[in-house]
Amino acid sequence: MQVAILSDMHVPGQADALPDEFADLVADADHVEVGDVTFVVHHGEVNPVERALYHAAEGIVKQRDDWLDAVADVANARAEDPVVGVAGHSHEVEDEVHEGVRVLNPGSATAAGPAEEATMMTTAVHDGDVEVTLHEA
């Protein structure tokens, strides 16, 4: 299964900045019901899940480690293994395992600041294995 992951596009203001090749990747992607792998999507705000362990006083996560904690908390609270947490917010590309969750941030698909270039990810999911490809335009 092919999954297209885009974030932080800032539309409608930045809609014209979406690269044509990204639109093609989205058109070719399958839906996000993945089966063996659960994708939990989160924007980087404080964890709305009651069972979550992480809380921040301001409601918005501003530091990278806090962002990783928030995404991993949401993913772990909502899904069983294997799980991939997908989040935006920083406009910075991320792909790392944090607290047992593979955390992905595709950056900004329209190069909204502070991103310097448009980025997105696609994933190929087969029998619980997730292969991630970063696309830059």
Average pLDDT by consecutive 10-residue portion of the chain (137 residues)?
Answer: 82 84 85 46 46 46 75 80 79 91 89 91 85 95
* Confidence (pTM): 0.77
- Output the average pLDDT for the chain: 76
Residue-level pLDDT at 40:
60
User: Distance between CA atoms of 53 and 125, rounded to whole angstroms?
Assistant: 29
User: Distance between CA atoms of 86 and 106, rounded to whole angstroms?
Assistant: 8
Q: What is the token pair recorded at 46?
A: 């404080």
User: Distance between CA atoms of 64 and 93, rounded to whole angstroms?
Assistant: 12
